[in-house]
Amino acid sequence: MALPLADDLANIFDVDEFATAVTYDGGTINGIFDNETIPVDTGGYVSVHEEQPRLTCRTTDISSIAYNQTMVVNAVTYYVRAWIHDGTGVTVVQLEKS
C-alpha cells in the first residue's frame, strides 16, 4: 500500500497549519519559514549573531529552482542561495536577505 505522503505534505504545508504563503517565480507557494538567530563563527575571537532564513517546502513546488531567484516572505525579499532536497519530497532552501 502506498504511503499517502503527498497528502501529508499538503497538510503540513497548509497555511492553516504550519506554512506561510511565499511569492515565488510569478506565483505563490506554501512553505515553513524559519529565521532562527545563530552564532556564526568567522574565525575571530567572538561569533556574530545573525538570523538564518530557511524555507522548507515541497520539492515539486520549486522544480525549477535556481540561484538568485527571489522569494518574498512576510513582505521581505530574499534571494535563493542554496537548497537541499531531502529525497522524500521536501526541500530546504537557504535564503539571503536582500
Partner 1 sequence: MAHVRQQIRERIVSVLNTNVTLVSNRVYGTRVYSLTEADLPAVVVYAGSETSALQTVSLKTSARVVSIEVDAYVRGTSNFDNDVDAIAVQIEEAIANDFNVNGLAKSAVLVNTEINFSGEAEQPIGSAKLTFDVRYDTAINDVETAR
Q: How far, in Å, CA of 95 to CA of 77, rounded?
A: 9
- The x, y and z cell numbers of residue 55, run together, are 524555507
Contact footprint for partner 1 (CB under 8 A): 35, 38-53, 78-79, 81, 94-98
Q: How far is the CB of 62 from partner 1 (least distance, A)?
A: 19
Q: How many Cα atoms within 13 Å fall on the side-chain side of residue 33?
A: 20
Name which of 9 and 93 has its Cβ closer to partner 1: 93
Name which of 47 and 60 has its Cβ closer to partner 1: 47
Nearest 5°: the CA angle 18, 23, 25 is 125
Name which of 11 and 52 has its Cβ closer to partner 1: 52
